[in-house]
Chains A and B, each alone.
Chain A
Amino acid sequence: MRLMLCFLLLIISSPAASTDASLDHAETTVLALENAWNQAVRLRESGALQQLLVDRLIYIEYDGRVMSKGQYLAQVRAPLLHPEHIVSESMRAHSFGNSVIVTGVYQEKGTKNHIPYVLRERFIDTWILQNGMWVCVSSQSTPIVH
């Protein structure tokens, strides 16, 4: 399963899939990568995420903490974190030149240190085309207040 996920990520973000000039294709590719990202988090497969994130990634958590790529990947594989249900709703991709901005509502349920948690937050992810591959350069979440 994990090997398949890595292979899938490689195919989706590969030059062959992403050199299509159409904006629609870029947006579809990036949305597919967002879904693959969720799958990787659910499976705690941080290795699959390596190629999706730039080394200088800026990751801002729902509580305002800032994380580097290394810190984020360490969190994904943390032994006491068990995300059971992850879904992104209302996802939309917007092309701006060689970058794609994705917005959506991220929902995650699971247990952390054996304590149940539920997250519902709005996110913006910024993707760029680097060496023919789509990679995420920043990701930020904000809890939705009603």
Chain B
Amino acid sequence: MNSSGDFFVWKRVVVPLAVCLFSLWATPQDRTGRDAESRLLAVENVWNQAEAKGDTKALSMIFDDDLIYVDENGQLLTKSEFLAKAKSQSAYPQLLTTQAMSAQVYGDTAVVTGTYRIEQTKGKKRAQREGRFTDTWVRTHGTWVCVAAQSTPILR
């Protein structure tokens, strides 16, 4: 691999994975809740980047194997179904941004909520959609994993 290839791997794979690992690993200070909130919000941003790129390896680390996912059509997906969907969606250029994110920590359970906007180009068609999400995180063996996630389109 040439140096530009190395840089690409470093920027696109190593850095997000490192951030992901660091963020998921809960420290004793997490007990206060504040630290956990900022870590979870950081992981949510890593999730966005990974999903936009179809990086299923990074996404897989974020989710519990028993993930429960409800997509914006109200369909219930397993972890593998969600990862397959993220992979297929990443074939089309997309920009995924989140706003107004907040986290609430209840001991070893946390809920993150916010809004998202997806801009995607499929061929000559450009689509944009907005929604609100809730992600539920659980700390197991000192690590935060996402156990449930749901998206709902915002009707104007």
Contact = CB atoms under 8 A, between A and B. Distances in A.
B64 A96 contact: yes
B74 A142 contact: yes
Interface string A54-67: 10101011111110
A38 interface: no
Given A64-B153, A126-B148, A138 B70 contact: no
A56 B104 contact: yes
A124 B138 contact: no
B8 interface: no
Interface in A113-139: 121-124, 126, 128, 130, 137-138
Contacts of A122: 70, 74-76, 150
B104 A64 contact: no
A144 interface: yes
Contact of B74 (A61, A66, A98, A144): A144
Majority secondary structure of chain A interface residues (helix, strand, loop or mixed)? strand
A142 B108 contact: no
Contacts, number: 109
Contacts of A145: 73-75
A94 interface: yes
Interface centre among B71, B108, B148, by most chain A C-beta atoms within 10 angstroms, is B148
A94 B68 contact: yes
Given A56-B104, A97-B108, A138 B153 contact: no
Contacts of B131: 64
A143 interface: yes
B76 A99 contact: no
B154 A96 contact: no
B68 A103 contact: yes
Interface centre among A60, A128, A137, A140, by most chain B C-beta atoms within 10 angstroms, is A140
A101 interface: yes
B113 A64 contact: no
A124 B107 contact: no
Contacts of B66: 94, 96
Interface in B93-108: 104, 106-108
5 contacts: A66-B132, A103-B76, A124-B150, A130-B106, A138-B136
Given A94-B147, A101-B68, A140-B152, 11 more contacts: A58-B134, A64-B153, A97-B139, A98-B109, A99-B108, A122-B76, A124-B136, A126-B134, A130-B106, A138-B113, A138-B134
Interface of A: 54, 56, 58, 60-66, 94, 96-99, 101, 103, 121-124, 126, 128, 130, 137-138, 140-145
